[in-house]
Structure 1
Amino acid sequence: MLTFSKGGTHPQEFKEQTSGLAIEEMPIPDELEIVLGQHIGAPCTPTVARREDVEEAGLIGEVKKGLGVPLHSPVTGKVKAIGMSAHPMRVSVPSITVSVNHEAEPKKYELQDYQGLSGKELLKKVHDAGIIGVGGAGFPTHVKLSPPPNSPVDVLLLNGAECEPYITSDHRQMLEHAEGVVEGAKIILKILGITECHIGIEANKPDAIQVMNEAAEAASSGDCSIRVRTLQVKYPQGSEKQLIEAITGRKVPSMALPSAVGVVVQNVSTAKAIYDAVAYGKPLYEKVVTIAGKGIHRQANLLVKVGTKIKDIVDYLGGLEPGLTKIIMGGPMMGFAVSSLDIPITKTSSAILFLREDEIDTRPHSQCIRCGWCLDACPMGLEPKEIGIYVEANRAEDTEPFGVFDCFECGSCAYVCPAKRPLVQFIRLAKMKAKRT
């Protein structure tokens, strides 16, 4: 089976908690807090004022300068406040709070004829719908689908690996919306002006592989080739550079983009969002989120409106369980521990984990024993142990020779470390200090 050549780990999967649970639409809470900066780039500027009425899918924020995409209201209601919301990384961020009008009829979307649209017209629809990479990075999709002229692209990869433990939201999207994912791939191919697409799925999702295979075969024609590729179960198989190497054999140079080797990578759920935007005119304002762990009364794959708070999800699923020790937004390898239930869901939220003590390792870390396990595990061939030692010695600005800026913080080093050293946190600190010098 296909995989990348260097490093990687095999953490316990825990996907059985939610992999068999169909996507469930959560009732809309009374209030949403919609973060203005949900993407990489400049945050949105509000286009609405306090006490103003808003409609579902109506524009509420736009980026006037710089990299970004517009923001849409997930509901019909009234702007309660333009203020700040809790955030897992930045403590607090600007947001728009909307009080929901539960009496309003949900917006209905009808299939539109988009087959005759040019690539440029399709790309504009992607931008206008506020599509970003929903797999976690949040990069504006219309920019990713506009590679520089000096880097011609010939291959599209759809990322269905979903290699993080616990998370099954992409798995369910592929099972329940295979045709939408594949149609999204065809739209992307037309925008890029290419014909070759590969969909990478880890071997631990045989049902998704079968369903996606059938959809891909039905959609393939003389104009485009869409093929499902089975990947070895190994973390971080879903990382962009590792996925590219596994499927195409091409290696992206240090600090370069995938387009440098003729590849564009999109998440399968992003492809589905592109299909919804182009075929139905539906902006991106709701997200499938995996809720897992023993610390929540009921696990689920929920379709929630962007801006829904964690506490509303907890209430809907029956509350917290005794022994809850840690709440993580995202997966256990790359997610962020949070201390508040007031944090709202964004377009990039993939999971919320409620973990009890028997699901996590709470032992304190100790000194590096120079075993070299982190070097073996690093998929980028870096030296995490040296970065950690330099950070502890207050020399974070000297870590660039060890490849600190090539690290994408997958957590493989910290996972295998027998001393339980917080290597990812060391690396984040090193990047921050090195950038200041």
Structure 2
Amino acid sequence: MKTSLTHQLWTFPGGIHPPERKDLSNQVAIATLPLSSVYRVPIKQHSGAAGPIIVSPGDKVLRGQPLTAAELPGQLPVHAPTSGTIAKIGPGRVAHPSGLPDTLIEINADGADQRQTLEPIGDYQAFSAADLITRITAAGIAGLGGAGFPTAQKLNQQRPLEALIINGVECEPYITADDRLMREHALDICRGTMILLHIVNCERAILAIEDNKPEAVASFTAVLNEFPAIELRVIPTKYPSGGEKQLIQILTGRQVPSRGLPIDLGFLMQNVGTAYAVARAVEHGEVLDQRVVTVTGENVDKPGNYWVRLGTPVADLLAHTGFRAEPQQRVIMGGPMMGFTLPDLTVPIVKISNCVLVPSTQELEPAQTEMPCIRCGACADVCPAQLLPQQLQWLAKAKDYDGLEQQNLFDCIECGACAYVCPSEIPLVHYYRKAKAEVRTIAREKAQAEVARQRFEARKERLEREKQERLERHRQAAEARKKAQAEAQQQGAPNPQDAVQAAIARAKARKAALAAAKAKQEDDSSA
């Protein structure tokens, strides 16, 4: 039975309540990080294919100038974070759990920070959804909540919506980037939400915030009278209530089906940071070249939130915030639940970098040695996706990919709740991430092999078709010759075959005469 969207709230299975530790970074306003001397911009900062590079080493660029193009669906451009010169283009470390390199565009800043912008759109309601989606693509906007899915591609759906959900939950411990953004820029977020409603042709938006952010709630309460289409919902604090499927279940009581999407239930979800970026892109012509990043942990002197240009090395961010390294110091991109330890500090900030966590060993103990599973079942009790984490781990270690598919591996949101409660210190999410990567690799190889097979079969069919066409042409030519000969004989013309036979007879006679002459010559010489 379809549940109406009322002020009633539901819950989701599992979940945990880890220490929040948000007060370390949410007490001061968002500051602006000083310019770096060098920026290292990855060409792929979203979920999807990277666009082609349209600059070369030695080129002069302005802040906001595209460095890559978006030529295909799913591609997004990246932009220069400041003015300067393209120093080099090549492989380098990026913000990814694998630690593998990807292509970077390195820019030497000139210090002038000269900027180019897109043409601002005054009255967005006078523009079509397609025009606004084109603007959002040109601005390079991806989902800022963590997944980095291209916003334009998400908006370009054809199904009617019951509601647009704006996610301001930010449930992971330590991270307060969205909290401070909501406190300081509630009006821009509301304006971006109205633009999104216009694009998707929906009349209702629900803004969800956890009840541990009373200042953010107050900021929106002060402005929402101007936006009757936006409804504020304050939900209980529980991790991971900010997950897309979990939040929909809290707000509506409905479950997104396995392998399904919110659009299947008539909902579309965007992060508050994404709504803010949309407002800036449409109304001010600003591309996505910076974002709010939380820098927190007991080993930085100035924890807080900062406007950071994309491509800024993490080392520069930590140097400005008073980083104090201890032996075997970990620097984590993201929060303690879903984040990953950086291989080095040259890794740049990207569109989905919402936090740099620098914990002391007292506040966040290093990972302990993995011990055998005792089958306590605690991981299954807290799983918000109602999976069997223990079974998934066994299947992942055994590389049983069919079994992983049957156990709905890809329903795992990698929230880390299972690893958090595991008494055996098993890094369960690590196994799931690795297994997902292997399954995707196998699927990609299968797809490539299928394409190769289809190309081989198509070539084989083409060669066979061309062979049959040649044989048919030869047959038709032979029949035409026979028909011509028959018509010529009927008209009294000499038979070409008779001429052939006569020529053969003359050749034989010449050959016999030559042989006789040679024999006679031999007899005369012997006499």
In the superposition, the TM-score normalised over structure 2's length comes to 0.79
CA-CA distance at 1:217 after TM superposition: 2.3
Q: 2:318 aligns with which of 303, 314, 317?
A: 314
Q: Paired residue for 1:350, among 343, 351, 354?
A: 354
Alignment CA distance shift 1:394-1:281 (3 Å): closer
2:423 is aligned to 418
| Aligned with 1:4 (options 11, 15, 22) | 11
Given that 1:3 and 1:237 are in contact with CA atoms closer than 8 Å, whether structure 2 keeps it comes out as no
Q: Which of 98, 111, 114 is residue 102 of structure 1 equivalent to? A: 111
- Report sequence identity in percent: 35
- Larger mean CA deviation between 43-52 and 167-176 belongs to 43-52
Q: Which residue of 2 aligns with 1:76?
A: 83
Is residue 259 of structure 1 aligned with residue 266 of structure 2?
Answer: no
1:232 and 2:236 matched: yes
Q: Secondary structure at the match of 1:279?
A: helix
Distance 2:64 2:178 in 1: 24
Checking the alignment, whether the CA contact within 8 Å between 1:383 and 1:403 is kept in structure 2 is: no
Answer with 14-23 or 57-66: which moved more. Answer: 57-66
State the match for 2:185 in structure 1.
177
Could you say which residue in structure 2 is the equivalent of 1:32? Answer: 39
Which amino acid in structure 1 is aligned with residue 71 of structure 2? K
Q: Cα distance, 1:124 vs. partner? A: 1.6
2:476 is aligned to none
Counterpart contact for 2:118–2:287, Cα < 8 Å:
no
Tell me the amino acid that sits aligned with residue 132 of structure 2: L
Partner Cα separation in structure 1 for residue 131 and residue 181 of structure 2: 26
Retained in 2: the 8 A contact 1:295–1:323? no
TM-score (norm 1): 0.94
- Please tell me the residue identity of whatever aligns with 1:30: S
Partner-residue secondary structure (3-state), 1:274: helix
CA distance in structure 1 between the partners assigned to 2:346 and 2:250 by the alignment: 39
In structure 2, runs of 5+ residues without a counterpart are: 1-7, 444-527
**CA displacement at 1:403 relative to structure 2:** 1.9
Size of the alignment, in residue pairs? 431
Alpha-carbon distance between aligned partners in 2 of 1:82 and 1:434, rounded to the nearest angstrom: 31
Q: Cα–Cα, structure 1 residues 162 and 93, in superposed 2: closer, same or farther, change >3 Å?
A: same
Change (3 A) 1:407 1:108: closer
Q: C-alpha separation between the residues in 1 aligned to 2:12 and 2:111? A: 53
Q: Tell me how far 1:66 sits from its aligned partner.
A: 4.3
Deviant stretches of 4+, over 4 Å: 104-112
1:92 and 2:101 matched: yes
Match of 1:119 among 129, 132, 148: 129
Partner amino acid, structure 2, of 1:2? L
Cα–Cα, structure 1 residues 426 and 357, in superposed 2: closer, same or farther, change >3 Å?
A: same
Partner SS state of residue 330, structure 2: strand
Match of 1:404 among 374, 385, 409: 409
Q: What CA distance in whole angstroms lies between the structure 2 residues aligned with 1:111 and 1:432?
A: 41
Amino acid corresponding to residue 145 of structure 2 in structure 1: G
How far, CA to CA, are the matches of 2:283 and 2:49 in structure 1?
28
Segment drifting more, 390-399 vs 92-101: 390-399
The one-letter amino acid paired with 1:27 is P
Say which one has the larger Rg: 2
1:370 aligned to which of 348, 353, 375: 375
1:431 maps to which residue? Answer: 436
Q: Is the contact between residue 63 and residue 114 of structure 2 (CA under 8 Å) also seen in structure 1? A: no
Give the letter aligned to residue 210 of structure 1.
Answer: A
SS of the residue aligned with 1:46? coil
Structure 1 pair 373–133 and aligned structure 2 pair: CA distance change class (3 A): same
Is residue 216 of structure 1 aligned with residue 224 of structure 2?
yes
Tell whether the 8 Å contact from 2:170 to 2:176 is kept in structure 1 after alignment: yes
For residues 4 and 311 of structure 1, what CA distance do their matches in structure 2 show?
40
Contact 1:387–1:396 under 8 Å retained in 2: no
- Structure 1 alignment gaps of length 5 or more: none
> Do 2:95 and 2:349's aligned partners in 1 also have CA atoms closer than 8 Å?
no
Secondary structure of 1:136's counterpart equals: coil
In the alignment, residue 54 of structure 1 is paired with which amino acid?
Answer: V
| 8 A contact 2:9–2:253 mirrored in 1 | no
Inter-partner Cα distance in structure 2 for 1:176 and 1:373 = 40
Q: Which digits, 9 at most, give the CA deviation of each residue in 1:382-409, with x for residues without a partner? A: 0001111233345455222222121111
Structure-2 separation of matches of 1:282 and 1:66: 22
Shift of 1:85: 2.2
Can you list the C-alpha shifts for 1:185-231, whole angstroms capped at 9, x where unaligned? 000000000110001100000110111122222222xxxx2011011
Higher-helix-fraction structure: 2
Paired position in structure 2 for 1:164: 172
Q: Tell me the CA shift for residue 74 of structure 1.
A: 1.5
Contact 2:10/2:253, CA 8 A, preserved across alignment: no
Among 367, 382, 385, the alignment partner of 2:387 is: 382
Contact 2:95 2:350 in 1 (8 A): no
Matches of 2:17 and 2:308, distance apart in 1: 30
Equivalent-residue separation in structure 2 for 1:313 and 1:324 (angstroms): 19
Is the strand fraction higher in 1 or 2? 1
Deviation, structure 1 residue 297:
2.6
Post-superposition shift, 1:304? 0.8
Higher relative contact order (CA 8 A, sep 6+): 1
1:305 aligns with 2:299: no
Query: Shift in Å at residue 324 of structure 1?
Result: 6.0
